Structure 1
Amino acid sequence: MSALSRRDVLRAGGTLAAVAGTGLIGGAAFAASSGGVPASFAHGVASGDPLPDGVLLWTRVTPTEKARPGSGAGPTVPVQWEVALDEDFRTVVAQGSVATGPARDHTVKVDVRGLDPDSWYWYRFRLRGVLSPAGRTRTAPAAGAAVERLRMGVVSCANWQAGHFAAYRHLAHRQDLDLVLHLGDYLYEYAPGEYQARDTVVRPHDPPVEMTVLEHYRRRHAQYKSDPDLRALHAHVPFVVTWDDHESANDAWSGGAENHTEPAEGSWIERRAAAQQAYAEWMPVRYGAGGQLYRRFAFGSLAELSMLDLRTYRSRQVGDQLDRAADDPDRTITGDEQMRWLTSGLVAADAQWKLVGNPVMIAPVRFPSTLSTRELQALSQLTGPPVEGAPYNVDQWDGYTADRAELFNTLRDHGVRDTVFLTGDIHSAWACELPADPLTYPFNRNSVGTELVCTSVTSDNLDDILRVPPRTASLSVEAAIRANNPHIKHVEFDSHGYSVIEVSPRQVQMDWFELADRTDPESSARHAVSFAVAAGTQRVHQVQEPLR
């Protein structure tokens, strides 16, 4: 997520004493077993990137006590893996062995092929006779197959220091999900005291510094995967992921980041390379460090899912003194090659629904000047620096209007229907139509698609920044935004939680669920609201009942 000089804002909120690394968490897990997880597999198992004939499997092993994440120590060891039709592993359909060692931080990734489409499988690993927990995964439907429904959990912005991951626990308890879509900010780079829950560190980051080098990024990934609810969800269904900025540093762009200072924090190129290497090692994704993260998945004739990378190729964000540069056609958020890939794929798609995994919001948003200074300052922490006195999303597609116009014009000119952008980043819930011309909408009613935005798992939102009870000050802000932006049909700034989305031939529906207390690992959750997009309409409308 973006912020106005967040490094200064957050540190000014009170820098807490740095907490000494607890080793648990950074990875001294060899001697301890948490929640019944074997010490050799302390970070669990995961799967991702499902194809009709295969899926990617992941784990991390701790062969010796010295082989802690980020240590660069420990032996190279063989790890066996197997895939079965049943959870008792009586019918094994694929198996093999792979070596891992300190060069890849003892992580294991296996791209299993030759599986049947649209099928559930169980998988596990073995190190020196010790079995990992078993994971469950699913392949995608066959190419062109008729599919009645696709149901996904949708999450974004999970800050360890701001709370517990009860949202993941609730998703792991569901039995109706085909996969989980993680739209970025899987982890955060900050040190203890720099970014947390209303300036309270619920649980401190390890290492107890801002991560800038490979050891830091590896240890932070290890810490997040020590969370039992995240481990449970990874073991329950495959993930499809992309990154946003905090996997490297706040407001990252191709040549730097707001939260990176040279030379004090070293070279940005080296820091980004370290972040990408750790991501490639620790995430269940078909990605190698320095390679191409954007990619596309097909789910029969029902849907195609295009996952974007909106950090690696983008131009530097504009500032308030350079607001006209937001319209400069030489600036980009996607990069030329990714834009060609995206637009050609949307135009040529055979599937009914064109889903776009979109790390930052694409709907145009103009914030009303009637808001108070305090409200504007709070919004600026969510959405970016002020432009002409009122903040808008210059870290998002609003700061790259030429790219957005090219994409929207392509959808309009080629008559592409049923395009839905699925978005994270902004720590709030939104349901939007995407006007070809925002200035005349809704009178011209020319919507080129829709956007559904999930809220944060734990990261601060508007009521947290304003230090007020939920559903108080935010109500007037939400009403003003809807009044100034008629294409925005829903916005809610206060909740933390998760979403569930179902894609069917008839419609796409998203349900938002909110946690009672993000700081409580046992927090309950309740259904908050639902919106749907009927096939062929390019419109969003509220639905009274959640998915069954």
Structure 2
Amino acid sequence: MPERALPAPRRRSVVAAGAAGAALLPLAGAVPGASAEPAPRQPAFLHGVASGDPLPDGVLLWTRVTPEPEATPGSGKGAPVEVAWEVAEDREFARTAARGTAKARAAADHTVKADVRGLRPATTYYFRFTAGGVHSPTGRTRTAPAEDAAVAGLRFGVVSCANYEGGYFASYRHLAARSDLHAVLHLGDYLYEYGHGEYPAGDTVVRAVRPEHETVSLADYRVRHGHYKTDADLRALHAAHPLIAIWDDHEFADNAFSGGAANHTPGTEGDWGRRMAAARQAYFEWLPVRPSTAGTTFRRLRFGQLADLHLLDLRSFRDAQPRVGDGDTIDDPDRTLTGRRQLDWLKKGLLSSTARWKLVGNPVMISPVAFGSVPAKLLGPLAACLGVPQEGLAVNTDQWDGYTDDRRELLTHLCDNRITDTVFLTGDIHMNWANEVPVRAADHPHEPPVATEFVITSVTSDNLDDTLHVAPDTLSGVAEAAVRAANRHVRWVDMDSHGFGVLDLDAARAQMDYWVLSDKTDPDATATVRRSYRTASGSQRVERSEEPVRLTP
């Protein structure tokens, strides 16, 4: 079938959004390093507005106030500012639904959150903030359906892995322009910690990030978050849809675990616990995310009777990644990816769920994958793309493949309790995949799978063709064929594309449309549907769909 093209609104044009066609305007101004224009003396909303974690009766609102020019992100400067917020049923704010005030303080980097309740389920609202007589841009959000509501359908944008220096955020622009999404799910690597020119390499940097050095301190992470939100496409996404986000490793440092990270050197970068706490604090300051009772991102959201969404944190509790080829360590039952508390929470939630679809926001791939059959000349570049050691690649031990006892326990739980319609939604590895998830890969397809998995490629972070410096769909075909041959549960893999996913749910099936960009280095890149895959309710199988879902007004 021919690919379906998505209209390509320009980055700096008005983004049409909302059931009523609300206009969400890109902001003027930016943090230092992004614009030569002087910042205003009066309070300003230079980093946009956002909403997140929709509930049936509420949503979390976010903004950042710049009270004076010197009060840049991470500076610690600026007096407290009284900020009013309001939520309305119309974009003219004639029918107010809720209002309140908050204080923007330097202690929270002048970020503001309002956890609004008392709203109606499954309803579109508009919101804004005001400080010193200055209004923020208007945002649009939507509450979740009532917990017991019979929901005909749900639609989510799905993204991961947005490296600022790797390209432009055209994926965000395309998602912001849609009015048919209930929310956008960000599966991790919302930002990257590297210094300028470290990743990607200096000669392939598309645009420079701030700060120029690697983020280590609280001020560093605040500056990086602030600089990301100078991007007009990212601001448009946040203003158009509620965000549901979890973190992966680069919000902290590459291949992070509970006691350190591959990209952390204690001798020069200090104590890991202090760095992780700084990154965590900046994350919750700058994103519309409710921390769980454990102070992490694992939590659960419900969307009527159609879907439960279980969101995982696979960095805070995991043991260090085992070395490649160390099979005894990989299978060690004393090692954990999830931590005991989180794994028990997930198992209980899946067992007790009364929703048709059990969605799992899963930062790293759960499907077992062997790469040993890939030609040797591609193993090194593939390892570099995946962020694993270069000396050989049997499995990616940063994924569930490195913690097989946790995976075995979870998948056996699904099998033994006949829990159906579990769909893992995954990011991390900068590739598109459509997988059936077996308890034991060697028994597939003779033994039925217990779940399915849709893996979404990166917004901009390097994948195989970028690493090899070749045109897309050339050398990758060899690696893709080898992976499919060695892993019969992998129904499709695309190692070269950048883009986003759109997950569409109804009672009969869950379908993922894989949208890919024409060129991540082009700020006006177009997007087309490369493939669509679905799983029918009760089947735990993945099949290709010849038709992407229709865009609805």
Q: TM-score, normalised by structure 1?
A: 0.92
Alpha-carbon contact 1:198-1:464 (below 8 Å) kept? no
Deviations 1:410-456 (A, max 9, x none): 00000000000000000000000001221121122x21100000000
2:494 aligned partner: 492
1:436 to 426, 436, 439: 439
1:24 aligned partner: 31
2:299 to 278, 288, 295: 295
What are the within-5 Å matches in structure 2 for residues 76-155 of structure 1?
76-155=80-159
Alpha-carbon contact 2:366-2:399 (below 8 Å) kept? yes
The answer to whether structure 1 residue 467 and structure 2 residue 483 are counterparts is no
SS across alignment from 1:68: coil
1:107 and 1:29 map into 2 onto residues whose CA distance is 23
CA drift of 1:385 comes to 3.8
2:516 aligned partner: 514
1:299 and 1:116 map into 2 onto residues whose CA distance is 14
Amino acid at match of 1:170: H
SS across alignment from 1:40: coil
2:394 and 2:372 map into 1 onto residues whose CA distance is 9
Amino acid at match of 2:484: R
What are the within-5 Å matches in structure 2 for residues 509-548 of structure 1?
509-548=511-550
SS across alignment from 2:450: strand
2:458 and 2:537 map into 1 onto residues whose CA distance is 28
2:73 aligned partner: 69
Alpha-carbon contact 1:100-1:107 (below 8 Å) kept? yes
SS across alignment from 1:148: coil
Shift in alpha-carbon separation, 1:458–1:388, aligned structure 2, 3 A: closer
SS across alignment from 2:260: coil
Deviations 1:136-195 (A, max 9, x none): 000000011000111000000000001010110011111111100000000000111100
Alpha-carbon contact 2:384-2:390 (below 8 Å) kept? no
Q: Which moved more, 1:449-458 or 1:312-321?
A: 312-321
Amino acid at match of 1:167: S
Amino acid at match of 1:109: K
Amino acid at match of 1:239: L
Amino acid at match of 2:66: T
Shift in alpha-carbon separation, 1:442–1:198, aligned structure 2, 3 A: farther
Alpha-carbon contact 2:30-2:47 (below 8 Å) kept? no
1:449 and 1:191 map into 2 onto residues whose CA distance is 39
Deviations 1:515-548 (A, max 9, x none): 1110111111111110001110000000111110
CA drift of 1:384 comes to 5.0
Alpha-carbon contact 1:384-1:394 (below 8 Å) kept? no
Alpha-carbon contact 2:49-2:64 (below 8 Å) kept? yes
1:320 aligned partner: 324
Alpha-carbon contact 2:434-2:455 (below 8 Å) kept? yes
The answer to whether structure 1 residue 214 and structure 2 residue 221 are counterparts is no
2:526 and 2:415 map into 1 onto residues whose CA distance is 43
**Percent identity (aligned):** 55
1:223 aligned partner: 227
Alpha-carbon contact 2:82-2:104 (below 8 Å) kept? yes
2:21 aligned partner: none
Amino acid at match of 1:328: D
1:159 aligned partner: 163
1:263 to 248, 263, 267: 267
2:420 aligned partner: 417
Alpha-carbon contact 2:296-2:316 (below 8 Å) kept? no
Shift in alpha-carbon separation, 1:385–1:64, aligned structure 2, 3 A: closer
Amino acid at match of 2:247: W
2:410 aligned partner: 407
What are the within-5 Å matches in structure 2 for residues 379-418 of structure 1?
379-385=382-388, 389-418=392-421
Alpha-carbon contact 2:50-2:139 (below 8 Å) kept? yes
Matched residue pairs, number? 521
Alpha-carbon contact 1:123-1:134 (below 8 Å) kept? yes
The answer to whether structure 1 residue 310 and structure 2 residue 314 are counterparts is yes
1:503 aligned partner: 505
2:429 aligned partner: 426
CA drift of 1:392 comes to 1.4
1:3 aligned partner: none
2:365 and 2:89 map into 1 onto residues whose CA distance is 40
1:12 aligned partner: none
Unaligned runs of 5+ in 1: 1-21
Alpha-carbon contact 1:82-1:92 (below 8 Å) kept? yes
CA drift of 1:32 comes to 4.1
SS across alignment from 2:254: coil
Alpha-carbon contact 1:53-1:116 (below 8 Å) kept? yes
Amino acid at match of 1:24: V
1:288 and 1:98 map into 2 onto residues whose CA distance is 22
Amino acid at match of 1:435: P
1:48 and 1:29 map into 2 onto residues whose CA distance is 32
1:209 and 1:390 map into 2 onto residues whose CA distance is 30
Deviations 1:92-114 (A, max 9, x none): 11101101110000000000001
1:235 and 1:120 map into 2 onto residues whose CA distance is 13
Shift in alpha-carbon separation, 1:321–1:489, aligned structure 2, 3 A: closer
CA drift of 1:391 comes to 3.2
2:233 and 2:211 map into 1 onto residues whose CA distance is 21
1:229 and 1:388 map into 2 onto residues whose CA distance is 38
CA drift of 1:386 comes to 5.7
Q: Which moved more, 1:360-369 or 1:134-143?
A: 360-369
CA drift of 1:30 comes to 8.9
Amino acid at match of 2:540: Q
2:450 to 448, 451, 458: 448
Shift in alpha-carbon separation, 1:389–1:259, aligned structure 2, 3 A: closer
Amino acid at match of 1:534: A
1:139 and 1:285 map into 2 onto residues whose CA distance is 15
CA drift of 1:372 comes to 2.8
Amino acid at match of 2:61: L
CA drift of 1:292 comes to 2.9
Amino acid at match of 1:413: D
1:15 aligned partner: none
CA drift of 1:25 comes to 4.6
1:68 and 1:175 map into 2 onto residues whose CA distance is 33
SS across alignment from 1:41: coil
CA drift of 1:322 comes to 2.9
Unaligned runs of 5+ in 2: 1-28
1:388 and 1:486 map into 2 onto residues whose CA distance is 25
Alpha-carbon contact 1:27-1:219 (below 8 Å) kept? no
Amino acid at match of 2:148: G
2:19 aligned partner: none
1:265 and 1:387 map into 2 onto residues whose CA distance is 24
Deviations 1:9-52 (A, max 9, x none): xxxxxxxxxxxxx983568899348xxxx970000000000000
2:281 aligned partner: 277
1:58 aligned partner: 62
CA drift of 1:465 comes to 0.8
Shift in alpha-carbon separation, 1:262–1:112, aligned structure 2, 3 A: same
Alpha-carbon contact 2:437-2:453 (below 8 Å) kept? yes
Shift in alpha-carbon separation, 1:544–1:198, aligned structure 2, 3 A: farther
Shift in alpha-carbon separation, 1:104–1:29, aligned structure 2, 3 A: farther
Alpha-carbon contact 1:184-1:242 (below 8 Å) kept? yes
2:50 to 39, 46, 50: 46
Amino acid at match of 2:189: D
CA drift of 1:249 comes to 0.1
Alpha-carbon contact 2:30-2:46 (below 8 Å) kept? no
CA drift of 1:245 comes to 0.3
Amino acid at match of 1:354: K
1:499 and 1:317 map into 2 onto residues whose CA distance is 28
1:7 aligned partner: none
